[in-house]
A and B are shown apart, each in its own frame.
Chain A
């Protein structure tokens, strides 16, 4: 290990309206493994108002060794300025080796600002993280963070490293890391960190705010019916919605389907959407680019329906159906209804 560098793994624990974000706890679970591999401590950083301490306590279910709690009424809602200031000061004084953020709107706003101020390496939307020794450009680096993500252009996975940066940062989408209670939770160790408001905090003021918890629960759905750009039209998508209705399934899709306006962004499965592991995933008109497969390939059973027998989606499927979705879907709906009778 480079003696000048720290060994801590940190997770920025995000709260919205005083409630913790799932993705932060998922990251703590992964962070526990990384911290063990690093030989360091896992610390949660909770920034918020009156619920921050309670959220800090929850972090110990997921493997934290310590929670740094920064609580102040002016930190109730996320704002780039003061939140970044808090993180930057903490990172400068305590030198963590790794800092993980959820790839949420707030995480994607905060992480780059903090990385810029601390000259840290930052990789967006990682689908896997590991600690490993690396030989790079004739130099041996011990215990680097491997930041793994599908790369541009298709069936390629890139491993990114930040060999010389004191702090290595990554953002990860919701659902990518699995949530599970720590087998052997550590005793609660909360450390309150002082916060003093600063005039620059008021450069951006929130004057109005509307949000509600999403009613779409892709991660929790046992059955998902997903459509791709291959479905072609909104009218064809209606047949997919009908299958989902009959099966009691959630509807999802690829980025291309979202970009085409067939589905809202909350229903995107894949590297830059949600990662799901349902009992059954039915992929319709989805070619199976790696960015999409990254978000669904761990499903218990996968049915692929595609008119192109060479489509890569068939390589991850348990059942393959080569055919036109507009021909297959109505027959599948009928077959299911017949079984119900």
Chain B
């Protein structure tokens, strides 16, 4: 039975930026931005779901993030994921890609055994495309990046078409393997209305703790048991749950640091404004000829 783990991320919606989104220390003020499901991760989930539909098995989605990142996990459940897992701890704050991949690798090991790890090629908030390969390296898995199409799985090998510079290639990778996926690889399925009704109440440990705090009649342990029985519990792991070394997590485990943030002050070129008329544009063309820019 095929077990795929899909790494997903909740990202600030960089396509809809309003106001001041950078803090003075160079970090992103995420509260100023709507948070969305990273598009390529959604495609990665779609590929994993299609493999499950074809070969059987199960799909687990995994995210590292603040408590509110549970939103994307519920969206994954609406699409068809079998289980969801949130990795969240203040100790993970400030992580660069290296520290992020360390924690994700610990969490993937916790979910073993598995055959495939999927992820989007990159997240739109940094566009680094680093976390996939770094996680693969830590898990000692072969990696196939920029996947355009998963063709088949036979005899423990997966056949994947991937984008390369100036073309594409078809590779066969031995399972278990990690695959990162580009946007055109598949059209993600819409949410199933039935699943939306079933899973909109799925909750993480933090969310159940909040419920218990607000109502003295409820006890967290009982709630976890009840939600788990009803398949509505989102597994929640802290640094301690993952036996993560504190020195490799969050800011401490991040070799890269933001040293400086500068606003770009444009000098404002000595520019000439051209009237948008035939005469104005005619004079512009003449000027370009005179400067040997055209002709």
Contacts and interface: CB of A to CB of B under 8 A. Distances in A.
Interface of A: 16, 21, 77-78, 80-81, 84, 104-106, 108-113, 115-117, 119-125, 134, 136, 146-147, 151-165, 200, 203-214, 223, 247, 272, 279-280, 290, 300-301, 303, 312, 314-324, 327-328, 331-332, 334-336, 338-339
B21 A153 contact: yes
B239 to A, nearest CB: 19
Contacts of A146: 259
A328 B276 CA distance: 6
Nearest to B169: A209
Contacts of B173: 203-205
Contact of A80 (B14, B145, B284, B288): B145
Contact of A211 (B21, B167, B294): B167
A102 B114 CA distance: 33
A134 B134 contact: no
A108 B286 CA distance: 45
A156 to B, nearest CB: 6
A301 B284 contact: no
Contact of A113 (B14, B136, B264, B266): B136
A112 B97 contact: yes
A247 B159 CA distance: 45
Interface of B: 12, 14, 17, 21-22, 26, 28, 96-98, 101, 125-134, 136-138, 142-146, 159, 163-174, 177, 255-264, 266-278, 280-282, 284-289, 291, 293-294
Given A156-B262, A161-B257, A203-B174, A321 B137 contact: no
A134 B96 CA distance: 20
A146 B261 CA distance: 12
A339 B289 contact: yes
B255 A120 contact: yes
Q: Which of A78, A113, A163, A327 is the most central at the interface, judged by chain B CB atoms within 10 Å of its CB? A: A113
A205 B278 contact: no
Contact of B285 (A78, A321, A339): A339
Nearest to B281: A335
B266 A312 contact: yes
Contacts of B282: 335, 338-339
A146 B260 CA distance: 10
Q: Which of A117, A120, A335 is the most central at the interface, judged by chain B CB atoms within 10 Å of its CB? A: A335
14 contacts: A81-B142, A116-B133, A153-B28, A155-B264, A157-B262, A160-B257, A160-B259, A203-B173, A210-B168, A290-B264, A301-B291, A315-B267, A318-B270, A332-B285
A24 B270 CA distance: 35
Contacts of B126: 124, 152
B16 to A, nearest CB: 11
Given A112-B97, A280-B294, A323-B276, A335 B261 contact: no
Nearest to A337: B285
A322 B270 CA distance: 16
A247 B286 CA distance: 14
A146 B267 CA distance: 23
A223 B143 contact: no
B271 A121 contact: no
Given A116-B134, A315-B266, A335-B284, A109 B145 contact: yes
A43 B258 CA distance: 28
A317 B257 contact: no
Closest 6 CB pairs of A and B: A211-B167, A323-B276, A121-B255, A315-B266, A112-B130, A203-B142
A318 B266 contact: no
Given A109-B146, A165-B255, A223-B294, A320 B166 contact: no
Contacts of B96: 121
A212 B167 contact: yes
B22 A136 contact: no
Contact of A124 (B130, B145, B268): B130
A322 B141 CA distance: 54
A312 B271 CA distance: 13
A156 B271 contact: no
B271 A204 contact: no
Contacts of B257: 136, 160-163
Q: Which of A119, A154, A203, A303 is the most central at the interface, judged by chain B CB atoms within 10 Å of its CB? A: A203
Nearest to A294: B264
